[in-house]
C-alpha cells in the first residue's frame, strides 16, 4: 500500500472556483456555458471507471493491513454516494445532490487520512466502536417499551470514559477524533503546494460550507427552496414554495461530485501502485474540460 504525493495534473481544476466564486446569495446563477449532456457523461464515465476498473483491482484487507478494511468500506460507500449524487443532479435535484456531496467529501477525506495514519485509524475505529456502544446503550435504556432490558456493554474506567468522551465529543464527533477542518489540513500534503492545495482548502471552506448550509436548513438554504413572486409593476409579491426538479445548482453539484470522486480514484490508484498518470491525462483531463467556464463567442 504505497503512498505518493497527490496532485491535480491540470490547472483547469481551478474551474470550480469559477463555478462557486460568486457571492453566496447568487451562487445558483453561476452556471458554465457547457453542454449538460457532456457533463453528465463525464461524471458517469468516472463512476464506471471507479466501479468497474479501480475497485475490482484493490486487494482485500488482511491482518497486516487492517486499516485497508476501513479504506475499502469508505471507498465503497463513497462510490455509491457519488452515483446517487449524479442521479439526483441529472434528474434536476441539484440542491439535494449537494447535500450528498457533504457526505461524499467527508468519506474521501477520511480515506486519505486513514492511509496516512493506518495504525491510528484502526485504534480510533476500535475506540469509537467501544465508546458508542455504551452511548447507545445508555440512550436505549431510556426507552424500555421499545427496547426492553438490553444487556449493557462492560463499563469503561472513569479515565477512559472521560478521555473518549472528549475525543469523540460525547458521540457527536468524527470517529477519527479530529474535526473536518483539521482532517483536511492533515491530508493537505498530498496535494501539491499552490493551486492544487488551494483547491482542496477551497472545497473544504466554501463548497462544503455551502453543502452544509443546504443540509442543515440554514436561512440561506431555506431560501433556495422558495422563489420570489413579482407584481406586474415589478414590485415584490412575496415568495412561494419551489418543489420538484429544476435546473438550479445542477451543474455546480455535478462538478463538485466529479472533483471529489476524482480525488478518491487518484488516491486508490496511487496507494495500490496502479497507473494514475493515465487517469490524470485521460479521463480526468477530459472530464475537467467539459466543466470549464467558457467565455461566450463574440457576435
Q: What is the pLDDT of residue 234?
A: 67
Q: Rounded distance, CA 253 to CA 42, Å? A: 13
Q: Rounded distance, CA 294 to CA 299, Å? A: 15
Residues 224-256 have pLDDT tens digits of 898 888 766 766 678 889 899 999 999 999 999
282 and 289 Cβ atoms separated by less than 8 Å: no
Cβ contacts of residue 79 below 8 Å, gap of 6+?
A: 47, 50, 51, 55, 261, 264
Q: What is the pLDDT of residue 291?
A: 85
HSE of 297, CA atoms in CB hemisphere, 13 A: 2
pLDDT tier, 75 (very low <50, low <70, confident <90, very high otherwise): very high
Cell digits for 168?
469523540
The answer, yes or no, to whether residue 27 has pLDDT greater than 60, is no
User: Helix (H, G, I), strand (E, B), or coil: what is residue 4?
Assistant: coil
Domain boundaries, the chain: 11-119+179-226+241-289
Instruction: Give the least confident one: 189-193, 244-248, 293-297.
Output: 293-297
pLDDT tier, 34 (very low <50, low <70, confident <90, very high otherwise): low
Q: What is the pLDDT of residue 154?
A: 79
Residues 256-277 have pLDDT tens digits of 999 999 999 999 999 999 888 9
Q: What is the pLDDT of residue 33?
A: 47
Q: What is the pLDDT of residue 292?
A: 74
65 and 118 Cβ atoms separated by less than 8 Å: yes
**Helices 250-271/36-49 angle, 10° precision:** 30
Across the strands, what pairs with 227? Answer: 240
DSSP tag of 206? I
Identify the CA nearest to 203 among candidates 251, 247, 263, 250.
263
Q: What is the pLDDT of residue 113?
A: 98
Across the strands, what pairs with 27? Answer: none
Mean pLDDT of 79-91: 98
Out of 16-30, 52-66, 197-211, the most confident range is: 197-211
Model pTM score? 0.84
DSSP tag of 66? T
Residues 176-187 have pLDDT tens digits of 999 999 999 999
Residues 95-147 have pLDDT tens digits of 999 999 999 999 999 999 999 999 999 999 999 999 999 999 989 989 999 98
Q: Rounded distance, CA 252 to CA 262, Å? A: 15
Cβ contacts of residue 51 below 8 Å, gap of 6+?
A: 79, 83
Q: What is the pLDDT of residue 293?
A: 56
Cβ contacts of residue 298 below 8 Å, gap of 6+?
A: none
Q: What is the pLDDT of residue 3?
A: 39
Instruction: Give the least confident one: 41-45, 130-134, 149-153.
Output: 149-153
Amino acid at each position: 500500500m504505497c503512498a505518493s504525493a497527490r496532485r491535480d495534473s491540470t490547472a483547469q481544476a481551478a474551474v470550480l472556483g469559477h463555478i462557486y466564486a460568486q457571492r453566496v446569495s447568487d451562487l445558483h446563477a453561476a452556471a458554465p456555458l457547457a453542454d449538460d449532456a457532456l457533463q453528465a457523461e463525464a461524471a458517469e464515465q468516472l463512476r464506471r471507471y471507479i466501479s468497474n476498473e479501480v475497485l475490482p483491482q484493490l486487494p482485500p484487507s488482511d491482518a497486516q493491513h487492517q486499516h485497508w478494511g476501513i479504506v475499502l468500506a469508505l471507498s465503497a460507500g463513497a462510490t455509491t454516494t457519488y452515483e446517487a449524487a449524479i442521479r439526483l443532479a441529472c434528474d434536476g435535484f441539484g440542491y439535494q445532490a449537494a447535500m450528498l456531496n457533504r457526505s461524499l467529501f467527508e468519506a474521501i477525506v477520511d480515506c486519505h487520512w486513514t492511509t496516512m495514519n493506518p495504525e491510528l485509524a484502526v485504534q480510533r475505529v476500535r475506540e469509537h466502536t467501544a465508546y458508542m456502544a455504551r452511548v447507545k446503550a445508555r440512550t436505549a435504556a431510556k426507552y424500555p417499551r421499545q427496547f426492553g432490558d438490553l444487556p449493557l456493554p462492560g463499563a469503561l474506567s472513569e479515565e477512559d470514559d472521560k478521555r473518549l468522551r472528549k475525543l469523540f465529543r460525547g458521540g457527536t464527533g468524527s470517529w477519527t477524533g479530529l474535526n473536518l477542518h483539521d482532517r483536511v489540513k492533515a491530508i493537505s500534503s498530498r496535494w501539491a503546494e499552490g493551486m492544487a492545495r488551494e483547491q482542496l482548502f477551497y472545497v473544504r471552506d466554501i463548497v462544503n460550507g455551502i453543502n452544509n448550509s443546504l443540509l442543515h436548513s440554514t436561512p440561506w438554504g431555506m431560501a433556495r427552496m422558495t422563489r420570489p413572486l413579482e407584481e406586474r409593476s415589478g414590485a415584490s409579491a412575496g415568495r412561494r414554495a419551489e418543489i420538484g426538479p429544476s435546473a438550479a445548482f445542477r451543474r455546480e453539484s455535478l462538478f463538485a461530485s466529479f472533483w471529489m470522486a476524482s480525488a478518491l480514484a487518484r488516491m486508490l490508484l496511487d496507494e495500490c501502485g496502479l497507473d494514475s498518470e493515465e487517469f490524470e491525462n485521460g479521463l480526468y483531463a477530459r472530464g475537467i474540460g467539459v466543466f470549464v467556464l467558457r467565455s461566450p463567442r463574440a457576435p
